[in-house]
Chains A and B, each alone.
Chain A
């Protein structure tokens, strides 16, 4: 057993704290996320002069508490990323399983779609659909869910194709198991580790995509908020109130960084072949 690196401990701690804060966040502040306080506009954080003790991270342009804003933003960004990751993983893997099962023209067609998707930056497709169909929460979450589907599809098709030729799979088919049982009970657990590694790669990317779009004003819309949207809001106040942009930015950075570190570690643990190839 190798010694656990302090970096990994740090990353896991950050993720654990983030999740706890997102769940019980409201105990950290008595202010609501959209509660305005016009007498306390643009108050700096507690360690600077002129701060207001009831707003430890400062306030924004209409006196909203930054603690409450960042927590609300974190809740939204995490929920969207989790929803997006689950939708993408399930949908993409299902496509891969279908392609591997039916082979023939079904596989050709699906893999052609995968290549098509892989040859275009996803943000272009997202922006097109948001522009033409108008922004709504449902469409936005579906779009986040479509992110990375082609990677899951390609990956699961590959591993399923090699798994169904293994003796254990043939034995189960010979014993009379149906397709549902073969794929869900026997093949899926065997390809799960590869899919989990993929999840740790796409999760931070979805957070980055969502926060980028919200930052540009094209993602989560007010009165809802997300870390990216708060950051974008603060852009006009950089010279007077840097904290509006910096706190949400730091949170995004810490979450994606920790997720990447944990993902790298998981990949090493679950996929020794990959480790041999990349390190």
Chain B
């Protein structure tokens, strides 16, 4: 039991260390790190000043440990575009992405999971086929195209919803739907197969034999067991969601971290790119740890196996 937790946490620390080392290697191999972080327009005096400030004449391993320390304490440097602390720039964007992400995540779960359950218990029906077809569509439709189709329909033709920006609840609807579609499709597919697997189990038949009602069997006997693999999928999907946010926030001019990353990459504001990527990676890795631990709590078999 303790071994399970310790192994999981060690693994997470190791992954985080990989992430930071990867960033350090990229920063060092792509050119002069000072030029990369203060921008190509900096004067030689400024470059020299930063070189001394960061003590780049120290041995590489000293620099490496200092770098790990700086990243761990959130000292990502200064954006050369507007001269502000990278951490401040990122922090003010986070609430927007959280709002969009939470909204679409909850929506995706509320639609995807029930759809998958119904598809599983009505296996082979028209409804099942319809849901699975929709899931395949959602999987194949690129989110930037879905976003543009929605803008064409709801903003330009029908003029029901604003096409971009923020301000009202109405602004949130299209980006959230666009972001949720893929996740809802994946969830529906996984819920369906997890439910199908559980519904065949003997304990469901036993419950039926002792007279437990149909819906009670589905909700209290099948669903809790089917939800175990679902937890992992929900965790893994966080990565898809971050990837999706990068595109969707750009389509709808939503002022979150995804759009910040795109603008930072196109203007090569490397200090911002580095800070953002590290923060996103850490978020993902920690979320995966939480999912793993939750998985162990939900399913004692996992703890024993490990």
Interface residues of A (CB under 8 A from B): 112, 115-116, 119-124, 127-134, 204, 208, 211-212, 215-218, 228, 231-232, 235, 238-239, 242, 245-246, 249, 252-253, 256-257, 259-261, 264, 277-279
**Could you say which of B107-115, B165-173, B276-284 contacts chain A?**
B276-284
A231 to B145, CA, bound (A): 8
B24 → A minimal CB distance (Å): 12
Q: Which residues of B are found within 8 Å of A235, using beta-carbon distances? A: 148, 251
12 contacts between A and B (CB under 8 A): A116-B15, A116-B18, A121-B243, A128-B26, A132-B36, A211-B144, A218-B262, A231-B144, A231-B148, A238-B156, A242-B152, A246-B152
Q: Which residues of A are found within 8 Å of B281, using beta-carbon distances? A: 120, 124
CB contact under 8 A between A253 and B142, given known A128-B26, A212-B247, A215-B247? yes
B141 contacts the other chain (Cβ, under 8 Å)?
Answer: yes
Q: Which 5 A-B pairs have the closest CB atoms?
A: A249-B145, A257-B140, A132-B30, A121-B239, A256-B140
Let me know if A218 and B265 touch, CB within 8 A: yes
- Chain B binding surface SS class: helix
B241 → A minimal CB distance (Å): 9
A116 to B284, CA, bound (A): 11
A242 to B250, CA, bound (A): 18
Q: Which residues of B are found within 8 Å of A278, using beta-carbon distances? A: 193
CB contact under 8 A between A119 and B285, given known A124-B280, A131-B264, A257-B140? yes
CB contact under 8 A between A127 and B265, given known A208-B142, A245-B148? yes
A257 to B134, CA, bound (A): 11
CB contact under 8 A between A112 and B273, given known A215-B144, A218-B265, A260-B136? no
CB contact under 8 A between A131 and B15, given known A121-B284, A249-B148, A257-B137? no
Let me know if A260 and B140 touch, CB within 8 A: yes
A217 to B285, CA, bound (A): 28
Let me know if B284 and A252 touch, CB within 8 A: no
Interface residues of B (CB under 8 A from A): 11, 14-15, 18-19, 23, 26-27, 30-31, 36, 136-137, 139-145, 148-149, 151-152, 156, 163, 193, 196-197, 239-240, 242-243, 246-247, 250-251, 261-262, 264-266, 268, 270, 273-274, 277, 280-281, 284-285, 288
A218 to B262, CA, bound (A): 8
Q: Which residues of B are found within 8 Å of A264, using beta-carbon distances? A: 136
A248 → B minimal CB distance (Å): 8
CB contact under 8 A between A253 and B23, given known A133-B30, A218-B262, A260-B140? no
Q: Which residues of A are found within 8 Å of B151, using beta-carbon distances? A: 238
A133 to B25, CA, bound (A): 12
Q: Which residues of A are found within 8 Å of B143, using beta-carbon distances? A: 212
Let me know if A129 and B156 touch, CB within 8 A: no
Q: Which residues of B are found within 8 Å of A119, using beta-carbon distances? A: 15, 239, 284-285, 288
Q: Which residues of B are found within 8 Å of A211, using beta-carbon distances? A: 142, 144
Let me know if B277 and A127 touch, CB within 8 A: yes
Let me know if B242 and A216 touch, CB within 8 A: no
CB contact under 8 A between A261 and B15, given known A127-B261, A231-B148, A278-B193? no
Let me know if A252 and B193 touch, CB within 8 A: no
CB contact under 8 A between A131 and B142, given known A112-B14, A119-B285, A238-B152? no
A93 → B minimal CB distance (Å): 23
Let me know if A132 and B27 touch, CB within 8 A: yes
Q: Which residues of B are found within 8 Å of A217, using beta-carbon distances? A: 266
A129 to B102, CA, bound (A): 29
A128 to B284, CA, bound (A): 16
Q: Which residues of A are found within 8 Å of B139, using beta-carbon distances? A: 256, 260
CB closest chain-A residue, reference B157: A242
Q: Which residues of A are found within 8 Å of B196, using beta-carbon distances? A: 279
Q: Which residues of A are found within 8 Å of B243, using beta-carbon distances? A: 121-124
Let me know if B136 and A257 touch, CB within 8 A: yes
The listed residue (A124, A212, A256) touching B144 by CB distance below 8 A is A212
Q: Which residues of B are found within 8 Å of A231, using beta-carbon distances? A: 144-145, 148
Let me know if B247 and A279 touch, CB within 8 A: no
The listed residue (A212, A260, A261) touching B142 by CB distance below 8 A is A212
Let me know if A249 and B142 touch, CB within 8 A: yes
Q: Which residues of A are found within 8 Å of B264, using beta-carbon distances? A: 131
Let me know if A218 and B266 touch, CB within 8 A: yes
Q: Which residues of A are found within 8 Å of B274, using beta-carbon distances? A: 128
Q: Which residues of A are found within 8 Å of B144, using beta-carbon distances? A: 211-212, 215, 228, 231-232, 249
A264 to B26, CA, bound (A): 38
| A120-B281, A216-B266 known, 9 other contacts, Cβ within 8 Å | A112-B18, A127-B261, A131-B273, A133-B26, A212-B144, A216-B247, A256-B139, A257-B136, A260-B136
A215 to B273, CA, bound (A): 19
Let me know if A204 and B140 touch, CB within 8 A: yes
Q: Which residues of A are found within 8 Å of B26, using beta-carbon distances? A: 128-129, 132-133
CB closest chain-A residue, reference B14: A112
Let me know if A216 and B277 touch, CB within 8 A: no
B23 → A minimal CB distance (Å): 7
A70 → B minimal CB distance (Å): 14
Let me know if A216 and B30 touch, CB within 8 A: no
Let me know if A216 and B250 touch, CB within 8 A: yes
